């Protein structure tokens, strides 16, 4: 008995000391070697940095440690810190600009890198090595241990991005900073800021004041976006907002401190209703009654990618005043944003009003072009010239390929992967952001549980993504990006819910080496991250625990096909009107559904306890889901 007690005591001590707890990081590093032992963080722990360029990173680390621990750690220049941040005297070519080496033992931690970006990512890994309580926003008691390890890490792709749409719903300066701070923790380095669209112009342009006086505001509306009532004559536009140029500068600095580049987007020539509402002379129709759209319908979509608009939301490519307007916009933006790229949209541009416009027809004749799509190529080439004159590079959605664009333009492939394949084969640099793997506004769980949208994207599909298409020269694939369009996302809490945990999966797709990806390993690390997000008060979806319920028709028989993304879940279901629990029918293989008005209810369990949402599918929903085989 004494021997058993002694053994249990040893096991308990070992577990507390972190020797039996495997390191769980997102994204997965290139190399982890874990050793016996720990370092115990104390109030007397010193933080050092060997070169002035590391000062800001060291200060930010001290702040991150002090908030939950209550310590008063300070960073000082020198080489003797217990936590030491070192910029290499001679570059380690393996690490590149963003890589780092982290070594921890019972005496302390050393992070070395070629550049401050690498030091920053090393500190983010260090914070993940600490107990989950490090995420607390208030002082909390915990055993502040760091496991002994050597981690060598560097990114696979140079472009690791997330896009936030602030036009469809406006998010404040502080909310944008919160979003940037969270994405930086997972080694994203690009924030694509969708600043303008039909539903709001969000950036102050001092030479064009009506863009924010008029274009930033719309009539207040609730309900499903796309089905809202149109503005009434004289109805005040009170919903919206914009960022002053001082706000922009503050956010840029906040992002730079976290090694994040901001790529601003002004979406033209389509998706420009907020600009047209402010300056109607820029459109073909010059309709002065156009208002900033509050989410009311103004188009018909035909299901094959084609559509028709009933309100002119496009800039007129034959009007020289349009290019004067854009020159003013991009002059001020180029002065604000230090990064090389400005995103110009180019997607979903309706050309019906162009085809009816006499000036557009005359321009086509002058240019000797027959296809209306070529006018967009003309527009984009003019726009690229404006940006080049200001020292900026053009990047746009994959539609910019359709009318012809210079080889120097960078393409963001969103309509699947084919646009990226075509662009890369033409010699363009490409950012891969296909709807099929990277659209974070898509429903991530069952649409009867989550707010429904027209498409689904589960986290396992995100994680399965390979950004370099087969047969494409990898040198043209800059990386990838997750996109969050906010038509139906009105609050930052819901932004977080849609972003996490799928963006954590994408962070590993874009950072980690291809051969390091392992779904089961990721699930374990993901569940660890859930606990940390709870302490950080970050909202996230738990749809990974939910059943994925499909039906199919084989002849006249409807069959139920249920799966889970996590292997250790048990599925229970009923079709007799009762609520399922662990005594209900256990799902093991596809089941023929009895004839009649059957309602299926499904729930998942783990270790004898319910863990997933209850999914209820009534007869009409079962039929809607059915596909023939």
Q: Which of 242, 344, 231 is nearest to 294 (CA)?
A: 231
pLDDT score of 558 more than 70? yes
Residue 472 and residue 424 in contact, taking contact as beta carbons nearer than 8 Å: yes
Give me the catalytic one of 271, 343, 428, 476: 271
Instruction: Name the pLDDT band for 11 (thresholds 50, 70, 90).
Output: very low
Tens-place pLDDT, residues 216-244: 999 999 999 999 999 999 999 999 999 99
- Cis status, amide bond into 269, omega within 30 of 0: yes
Beta carbons within 8 Å of 456's beta carbon, 6+ residues apart: 442, 443, 444, 447
Q: Does one domain contain both 315 and 400?
A: yes
Q: Does one domain contain both 226 and 335?
A: yes
Q: Does one domain contain both 62 and 172?
A: no
Cα–chain center distance at 502: 8
Q: What is the pLDDT of residue 268?
A: 98
Among 125, 153, 181, the domain-final residue is 153
Please give the Cα distance from 602 to 612 (Å, whole number): 9
Strands 591-592 and 557-563 turn out to be antiparallel
Give me the catalytic one of 98, 153, 165, 197: 197
Average pLDDT of the residues in 396-407: 87
Beta-carbon count within 10 A of 558 CB? 20
More confident of the two residues 2 and 376? 376
Strands 585-586 and 570-574 turn out to be antiparallel
- Cis status, amide bond into 501, omega within 30 of 0: yes
Over pLDDT 70: what percentage of the chain? 97
Q: Report residue 423 as tokens.
A: 């662009």
Q: How far is CA 362 from CA 280, 322, 354, 358, 571, in A?
A: 21, 17, 11, 6, 65
Give me the catalytic one of 235, 247, 348, 561: 348
Instruction: Name the pLDDT band for 20 (thresholds 50, 70, 90).
Output: low
pLDDT score of 627 more than 80? no
Q: What is the pLDDT of residue 59?
A: 98
Beta carbons within 8 Å of 571's beta carbon, 6+ residues apart: 547, 562, 564, 586, 587, 602, 603, 604, 605
CATH code of residue 222: 3.20.20.80
Domain coverage including residue 503: 162-539
Q: What is the pLDDT of residue 628?
A: 64
Q: Does one domain contain both 67 and 197?
A: no
pLDDT score of 493 more than 50? yes
Q: How far is CA 479 from CA 62, 162, 465, in A?
A: 31, 11, 12
Q: Does one domain contain both 460 and 568?
A: no
Token pair 């500190």: residue: 123
Query: Rounded to the nearest 5 degrees, what angle is found at the Cα of 595, between the Cα atoms of 590 and 596?
Result: 130
Q: Does one domain contain both 193 and 148?
A: no
Tens-place pLDDT, residues 276-307: 999 999 999 999 999 999 999 999 988 777 89
pLDDT score of 210 more than 70? yes
Residue 500 and residue 543 in contact, taking contact as beta carbons nearer than 8 Å: no
Phi, psi of 499 (to 5 degrees): -80, -40
Please give the Cα distance from 240 to 220 (Å, whole number): 9
Q: Which residues pair with 342 in a beta bridge?
A: 394
Query: Is 348 a residue of the active site?
Result: yes
CA-only gyration radius of the chain, Å: 27
Please give the Cα distance from 208 to 328 (Å, whole number): 8
Among 98, 127, 153, the domain-final residue is 153
pTM of the entire predicted model:
0.95
More confident of the two residues 627 and 300? 300
Q: Does one domain contain both 186 and 253?
A: yes
Tens-place pLDDT, residues 146-198: 999 999 999 999 999 999 999 999 999 999 999 999 999 999 999 999 999 99
Please give the Cα distance from 97 to 113 (Å, whole number): 8
Phi, psi of 122 (to 5 degrees): -65, -40
Q: What share of the chain is helix, strand, coil (3-state, %, to 5)?
A: 35, 25, 45
Q: Which residues pair with 190 in a beta bridge?
A: 161, 261
Most distant CA pair in the chain: distance in Å?
97
Strands 159-165 and 145-153 turn out to be unpaired
Q: What is the pLDDT of residue 3?
A: 46
Residue 274 and residue 204 in contact, taking contact as beta carbons nearer than 8 Å: no
Residue 434 and residue 480 in contact, taking contact as beta carbons nearer than 8 Å: no
Q: What is the pLDDT of residue 12?
A: 40
Tens-place pLDDT, residues 573-611: 999 999 999 999 999 999 999 988 999 999 999 999 999
CATH code of residue 569: 2.60.40
Instruction: Name the pLDDT band for 16 (thresholds 50, 70, 90).
Output: very low
pLDDT score of 386 more than 60? yes
Scanning 113-172, the segments in alpha helix (DSSP H) are: 116-129
Average pLDDT of the residues in 417-429: 94
Please give the Cα distance from 285 to 422 (Å, whole number): 34
Tens-place pLDDT, residues 328-363: 999 999 999 999 999 999 999 999 999 999 999 999
Q: Report residue 589 as tokens.
A: 């293989």
Among 94, 121, 153, the domain-final residue is 153
Query: Is 197 a residue of the active site?
Result: yes
Q: Does one domain contain both 552 and 451?
A: no
| Number of domains within the chain | 3
- Cis status, amide bond into 27, omega within 30 of 0: yes
Q: What is the pLDDT of residue 629?
A: 58
Q: What value does the mean pLDDT of the chain take?
A: 94
Phi-psi region of 9 (alpha: psi -120 to 50; beta: other; left: phi over 0): alpha
Q: Does one domain contain both 214 and 133?
A: no
Q: Does one domain contain both 530 and 564?
A: no
Over pLDDT 90: what percentage of the chain? 91
pLDDT score of 375 more than 80? yes
CATH code of residue 42: 3.30.379.10
Scanning 368-468, the segments in alpha helix (DSSP H) are: 373-389, 418-425, 435-438, 459-463
Q: Does one domain contain both 582 and 494?
A: no
Q: What is the pLDDT of residue 592?
A: 94
Q: Does one domain contain both 239 and 377?
A: yes
Token pair 């933006």: residue: 333
Average pLDDT of the residues in 116-142: 97
pLDDT score of 7 more than 50? no
Residue 36 and residue 195 in contact, taking contact as beta carbons nearer than 8 Å: no
Query: Is 169 a residue of the active site?
Result: no
Query: Rounded to the nearest 5 degrees, what angle is found at the Cα of 457, between the Cα atoms of 507 and 514?
Result: 35
């Amino acid at each position: 008995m004494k021997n058993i007690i002694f053994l249990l005591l040893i096991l308990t001590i070992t577990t507390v000391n972190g020797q039996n707890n495997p390191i769980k990081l997102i994204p997965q590093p290139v190399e982890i070697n874990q050793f016996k032992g720990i370092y115990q963080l104390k109030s007397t722990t010193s933080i050092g940095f060997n070169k002035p360029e590391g000062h800001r990173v060291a200060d930010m680390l001290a702040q991150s440690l002090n908030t939950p621990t209550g310590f008063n750690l300070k960073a000082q220049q020198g080489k003797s810190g217990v936590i030491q941040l070192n910029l290499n005297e001679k570059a380690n070519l393996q690490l590149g600009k963003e890589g780092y080496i982290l070594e921890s033992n019972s005496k302390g931690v050393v992070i070395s890198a070629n550049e401050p970006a690498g030091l920053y990512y090393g500190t983010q890994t260090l914070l993940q090595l600490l107990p989950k309580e490090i995420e607390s926003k208030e002082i909390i008691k915990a055993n502040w241990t760091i496991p002994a390890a050597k981690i060598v890490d560097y990114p696979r792709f140079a472009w690791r991005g997330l896009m936030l749409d602030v036009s469809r719903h406006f998010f404040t300066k502080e909310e944008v900073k919160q979003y940037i701070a969270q994405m930086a923790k997972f080694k994203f380095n690009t924030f694509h800021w969708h600043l303008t669209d039909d539903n709001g112009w969000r950036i102050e342009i001092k030479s064009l004041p009506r863009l924010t006086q008029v274009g930033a505001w719309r009539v207040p509306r609730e309900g499903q976006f796309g089905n809202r009532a149109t503005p009434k004559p004289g109805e005040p536009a009170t919903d919206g907002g914009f960022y002053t140029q001082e706000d922009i500068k503050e956010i840029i600095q906040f992002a730079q401190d976290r090694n994040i580049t901001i790529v601003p987007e002004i979406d033209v020539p389509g998706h420009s209703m907020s600009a047209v509402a402010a300056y109607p002379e820029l459109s073909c129709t010059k309709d002065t009654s156009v208002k900033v759209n509050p989410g009311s319908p103004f188009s018909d979509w035909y299901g094959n990618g084609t559509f028709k608009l009933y309100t002119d939301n496009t800039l007129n490519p034959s009007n020289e005043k349009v290019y004067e307007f854009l020159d003013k916009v991009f002059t001020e933006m180029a002065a604000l944003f230090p990064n090389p790229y400005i995103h110009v949209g180019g997607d979903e541009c309706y050309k019906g009003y162009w085809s009816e416009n006499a000036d557009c027809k005359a321009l086509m004749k002058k240019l000797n072009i027959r296809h209306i799509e070529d006018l967009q190529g003309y527009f984009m080439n003019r726009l690229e010239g404006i940006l080049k004159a200001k020292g900026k590079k053009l990047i746009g959605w994959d539609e910019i390929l359709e009318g012809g664009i210079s080889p120097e333009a960078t393409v963001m492939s969103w309509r699947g992967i084919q646009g990226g394949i075509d662009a890369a084969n033409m010699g363009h640099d490409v950012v891969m952001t296909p709807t099929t793997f990277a659209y974070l506004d898509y429903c991530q769980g069952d649409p009867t549980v989550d707010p429904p949208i027209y498409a689904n994207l589960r986290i396992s599909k995100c994680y399965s993504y390979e950004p370099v298409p087969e047969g494409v020269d990898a040198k043209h694939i800059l990386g990838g990006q997750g996109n969050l369009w906010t038509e139906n996302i009105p609050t930052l809490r819901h932004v977080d819910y849609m972003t996490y945990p799928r963006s954590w999966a994408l962070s590993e797709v874009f950072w980690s080496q291809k051969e390091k990806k392992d779904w089961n390993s990721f699930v374990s690390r993901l569940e660890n991250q859930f606990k940390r997000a709870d302490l950080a008060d970050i909202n996230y979806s738990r749809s990974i625990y939910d059943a994925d319920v499909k039906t199919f028709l084989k002849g006249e028989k409807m069959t139920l096909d249920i799966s889970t993304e996590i292997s250790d879940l048990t599925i229970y279901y009923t079709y007799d009107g009762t609520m399922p629990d662990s005594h209900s029918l256990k799902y093991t293989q596809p089941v023929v559904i009895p004839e009649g008005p059957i309602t299926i209810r499904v729930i998942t369990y783990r270790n004898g306890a319910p863990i997933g949402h209850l999914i209820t599918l009534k007869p009409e929903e079962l039929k809607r889901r059915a596909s023939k085989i």
